């Protein structure tokens, strides 16, 4: 293994990232501690080398040593370190100085332990492990270091820190994500797409509440993802990358306490399960119990995650794992604060006002099980099979003072919404692909061939209140006390049933057309079928042989700056109905993007500037009428065009200074009128940390802000009827400080909404609004094993 020659293309940058990629290619087991490699960098590697030659090149100029012990095991350490059991000191090779993070070879893009805010590689756009500069689309990555510094505990909190993405709160547990003016419903887990449902689907609350304790990073691909996702929205794709086991033993436990009786604990343990390290495991659990700035709200949640990796042979890796999450809220609203009183005045209520009843709940759960088999051949080709099975659902028994217009004198005129919604979805997905080099005209190119299949069965049952007691005595003195009714089925013996199926084949090649020019050509062929019966109306959509093209090009202008362009198709079936009760045809269109990408300071900083345009046909536009079951009807409209640009920078300005910032502008128009106005046209995010030295060594300070432009939506005014209402723009400023007492113990203080700004998001369907969270404080203590 040590003497076999392989081809390497590893960019300059953080040593930890380079070693991840080296281990992925060489299939060697690298043994070292995180402290050994912290903060070190490498000049990179490009060419054909033996393992010894490659390691010498990567570690050159660092002062570290490496030695082979037991064939495929390599120990990396500082000179003079104690000899490991079974080591052969005479084999040690002296280098100049380096720092490497212990890494799992199964995840070349791993960010845990790197300490940086930018990734080394990402595969979310093309399936190939490419650096951000080599990827011809906008990609934002929230790394593990960013998550830990700002104590981002859920995906919703991560989205607030992601350049170009925004959130809209629909009341209660439901927070929807938007990018480039459109809802984001494309979720992938370790690259496998498994979800079809819309925001009211079985997984909605758990996707938004997904606990970050089990994830290494979140990669967000902006724009359409037609090649690897196929069916999906044009705004963005959120790829959740799970933590993987490590060969060296490591672990931590964290305890949190914060405002509004917010308590949480995490435990993460990882390491080898046998003496040789060929079997490795990891276990993560987190439990949270919190109240809220909202009156009579309380929530408990739990996460359990386990994963095992086994090297079946030096070139074959088998992975199996599972996770379980559950959220149990009480006092959660299916609705928002009423926007106007009976006189037509804006109905400003305290931020603590909660329109939900005390018994209102939206319990949600997901079970995920997954497996992966991966084999690498001597010719650098790799074959990977991924399987994922998910069961997700919710049980929502909701009561909310959310209807009507309150009288400003006595609080009368408000009615209750009381319903029960239960939903369960079972999703099975499989993805298999092969990737490797292809030699043509004396140049090395890359090829990806793959296929995927997925099926989701979903059942939803709705109940209404059995009584007619709907009047709220006094809205302005509401406390949540309201009797819980009995329930009757909305449609007796006729639950909503939905089946979604997709089968696809995809291929993509990355051609080295010139020393400075790479061209990407690919396509996905999709067969899609949806059979639905919703509120007594049956629909059926079947589309075979849908071709979704993907083209891209990257031209290296200089050694640090590249220009790129990409083009991909859009295909998205939709649930909207026309006035006859028929489902609208799928949205189809194109996503084009051009821009510049740069990698400064040997790849420590990635920056990008992009201009994009999205054109969609069959876009759902309200007709003003109703469907046969009484819901709003829509018609398909062609020619919705979204134009905008994005700027982003992330990375390490110095060994002590981390930064991630971005600005996004986008406008969607149809016939010279703006659509999707309830999402901001402009937004800005900035987050940064700095490690002090000298007498303050061990202290890190940081902070950030996000600015969101004005948003508008149509609402119903008690006097003027249907009108546009605009929410003002706002800033939210956060701050943090952490202190490292020693190598094991550290403390972090996070202050969110430091200036206690008041802001709200509107959700026009419910004719109301919800306040953003006031200032809060969170203290964390972490002990690392």
pLDDT at 338: 95
pLDDT at 679: 87
Query: 75 vs 569, which has greater pLDDT?
Result: 569
Last residue of a domain, one of 105, 137, 171: 105
pLDDT at 181: 84
Q: Is residue 205 part of a domain?
A: no
Q: Is residue 391 part of a domain?
A: yes
Last residue of a domain, one of 73, 105, 137: 105
Query: 562 vs 120, which has greater pLDDT?
Result: 562
pLDDT at 204: 44
Confidence of residue 131 (pLDDT cuts 50, 70, 90): confident
What is the SS3 assignment for 698? coil
Dmax over Cα atoms in the chain, in whole Å? 89
Confidence of residue 675 (pLDDT cuts 50, 70, 90): confident
pLDDT at 761: 80
pLDDT at 586: 87
pLDDT at 494: 67
pLDDT at 154: 92
Query: 193 vs 565, which has greater pLDDT?
Result: 565
In tens, the pLDDT along 28-81 reads 778 776 667 766 777 777 767 778 778 887 887 676 778 776 556 788 877 655
Q: Is residue 112 part of a domain?
A: no
Report whether pLDDT(334) > 60: yes
Q: Which of 336, 479, 329 minimizes the C-alpha distance to 772?
A: 336
Q: Which of 565, 714, 555 minimizes the C-alpha distance to 632?
A: 714
pLDDT at 518: 94
Q: Is residue 212 part of a domain?
A: no
Cβ–Cβ < 8 Å for 271, 243: no
Place of tokens 């919705």: 640
Region 630-638 average pLDDT: 83
Q: Is residue 696 part of a domain?
A: yes
pLDDT at 4: 59
Q: Is residue 360 part of a domain?
A: yes
Look at the chain and report how many structural domains it folds into: 2
Query: 495 vs 691, which has greater pLDDT?
Result: 691
User: Can you give the CATH number for the domain in which 570 is found?
Assistant: 2.40.170.20
Query: 377 vs 42, which has greater pLDDT?
Result: 377
In tens, the pLDDT along 701-730 reads 999 999 999 998 888 899 998 888 888 999
Last residue of a domain, one of 105, 137, 154: 105
Q: Is residue 125 part of a domain?
A: no
Measure Cα distances from 684 to 524, 678, 734, 764 in Å: 34, 17, 14, 24
* Domain, as residue range, for 492: 264-318+325-415+428-784
Tell me what percent of the residues of the chain surpass a pLDDT of 70. Answer: 90
Region 184-202 average pLDDT: 69
pLDDT at 742: 92
Q: Is residue 534 part of a domain?
A: yes
CA distance 725 to 667: 18
pLDDT at 480: 95
Q: Which of 686, 641, 649 minimizes the C-alpha distance to 666?
A: 641
Could you give phi then psi for residue 718, rounded to 5 degrees? Answer: -65, -20
CA distance 401 to 354: 9
User: Can you give the CATH number for the domain in which 11 is found?
Assistant: 3.55.50.30
Q: What is the dihedral of CA 99, 102, 108, 112, to 10 degrees?
A: -90
Confidence of residue 198 (pLDDT cuts 50, 70, 90): very low
CA distance 334 to 171: 5
Measure Cα distances from 549 to 504, 505, 615, 721 in Å: 13, 12, 15, 45
pLDDT at 343: 96
**DSSP secondary structure string, 483-512?**
----EEESSTT--EEEEEEEEEEEEEEEEE
pLDDT at 493: 63
What stretches of 291-381 adopt beta strand conformation (E)?
298-313, 316-330, 337-338, 361-376
């Amino acid at each position: 293994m040590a003497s076999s020659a392989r081809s390497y293309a590893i960019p300059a940058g953080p040593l930890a990232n380079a070693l991840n990629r080296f281990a992925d290619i060489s299939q060697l087991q690298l043994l070292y501690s995180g402290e050994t490699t912290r903060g070190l960098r490498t000049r990179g590697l490009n060419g054909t080398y033996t393992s010894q030659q490659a390691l010498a090149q990567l570690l050159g100029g660092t002062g570290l040593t490496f030695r082979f012990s037991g064939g495929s095991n390599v120990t990396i350490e500082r000179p003079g370190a104690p000899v490991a059991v079974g080591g052969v000191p005479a084999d040690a090779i002296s280098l100049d100085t380096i720092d490497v993070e212990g890494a799992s070879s199964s995840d070349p893009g791993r960010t845990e332990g790197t300490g940086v805010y930018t990734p080394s590689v990402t595969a979310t756009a093309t399936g190939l492990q490419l650096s951000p500069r080599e990827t011809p689309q906008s990609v934002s990555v929230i790394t593990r270091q960013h998550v830990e510094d700002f104590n981002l505990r859920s995906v919703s909190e991560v989205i607030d820190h992601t350049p170009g993405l925004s959130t809209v709160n629909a009341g209660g547990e439901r927070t929807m994500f938007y990018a480039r003016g459109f809802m984001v419903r494309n979720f992938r887990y370790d690259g496998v797409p498994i979800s079809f449902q819309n925001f009211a689907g079985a997984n909605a609350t758990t996707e938004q509440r997904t606990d970050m304790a089990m994830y290494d990073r979140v990669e967000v691909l902006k724009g359409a993802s037609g090649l690897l996702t196929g069916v999906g929205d044009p705004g963005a794709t959120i790829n959740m990358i799970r933590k993987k086991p490590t060969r060296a033993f490591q672990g931590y436990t964290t305890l949190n306490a914060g405002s509004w009786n917010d308590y949480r604990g995490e435990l993460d343990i990882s390491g080898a399960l046998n003496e040789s390290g060929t079997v490795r495991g990891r276990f993560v659990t987190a439990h949270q119990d919190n109240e809220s700035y909202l009156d009579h709200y309380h929530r408990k949640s739990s996460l359990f995650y386990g994963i095992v990796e086994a090297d079946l042979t030096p070139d074959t890796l088998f992975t199996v794992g599972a996770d379980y999450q559950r959220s149990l809220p009480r006092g959660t609203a299916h609705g928002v604060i009423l926007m106007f009183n009976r006189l037509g005045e804006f109905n400003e209520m305290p931020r603590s006002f909660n329109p939900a009843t005390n018994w209102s709940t939206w319990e949600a759960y997901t079970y995920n099980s997954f497996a992966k088999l991966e084999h690498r051949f001597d010719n650098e080709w790799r074959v990977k099979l991924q399987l994922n099975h998910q069961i997700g659902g919710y049980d929502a028994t909701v009561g909310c003072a959310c209807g009507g217009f309150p009288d400003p004198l006595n609080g009368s005129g408000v009615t209750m919404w009381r319903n029960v919604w239960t939903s369960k979805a079972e999703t099975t997905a499989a993805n298999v692909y092969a990737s490797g080099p292809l030699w043509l005209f004396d140049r090395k190119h890359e090829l990806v061939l793959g296929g995927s299949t997925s099926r989701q069965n979903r059942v939803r049952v709705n109940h209404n209140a059995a009584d007619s007691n709907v009047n709220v005595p006094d809205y302005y003195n509401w406390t949540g006390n309201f009797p819980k009714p009995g329930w009757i089925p909305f449609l007796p013996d006729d639950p909503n049933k939905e089946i979604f199926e997709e089968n696809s084949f995809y291929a993509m090649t990355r051609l080295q057309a010139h020393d400075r020019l790479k061209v990407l050509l690919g396509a996905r062929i999709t067969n899609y079928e949806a059979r639905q019966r919703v509120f007594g109306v049956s629909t059926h959509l079947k589309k075979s042989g849908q071709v979704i093209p993907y083209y891209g090009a990257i031209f290296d202008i200089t050694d640090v700056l590249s220009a790129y362009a990409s083009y991909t198709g859009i295909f998205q079936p939709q649930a909207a109905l026309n006035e006859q009760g028929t489902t609208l045809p799928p949205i189809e269109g194109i996503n084009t993007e051009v821009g510049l990408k740069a990698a400064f300071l040997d790849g420590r900083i990635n920056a990008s500037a992009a201009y994009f345009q999205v054109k969609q046909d069959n876009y759902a536009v309200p007709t003003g009428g109703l469907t046969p079951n009484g819901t709003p009807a829509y018609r398909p409209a062609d020619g919705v065009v979204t134009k905008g640009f994005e700027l982003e920078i992330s990375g390490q300005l110095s060994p002590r200074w981390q930064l991630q910032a971005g600005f996004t502008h986008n406008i969607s128009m149809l016939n010279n009128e703006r659509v999707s106005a309830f999402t901001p046209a402009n937004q800005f995010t900035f987050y940064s940390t700095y490690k002090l030295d000298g007498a303050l060594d061990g202290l890190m300070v940081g902070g950030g802000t996000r600015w969101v432009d004005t948003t508008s939506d149509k609402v119903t005014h008690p006097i003027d009827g249907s009108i546009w209402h605009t929410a003002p723009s706002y800033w939210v400023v956060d701050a943090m400080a952490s202190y490292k007492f020693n190598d094991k113990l550290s403390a972090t203080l996070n202050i969110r909404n430091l200036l206690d700004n008041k802001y709200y998001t509107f959700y026009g369907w419910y004719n109301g609004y919800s306040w953003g969270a006031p200032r809060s404080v969170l203290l964390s203590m972490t002990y690392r094993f």
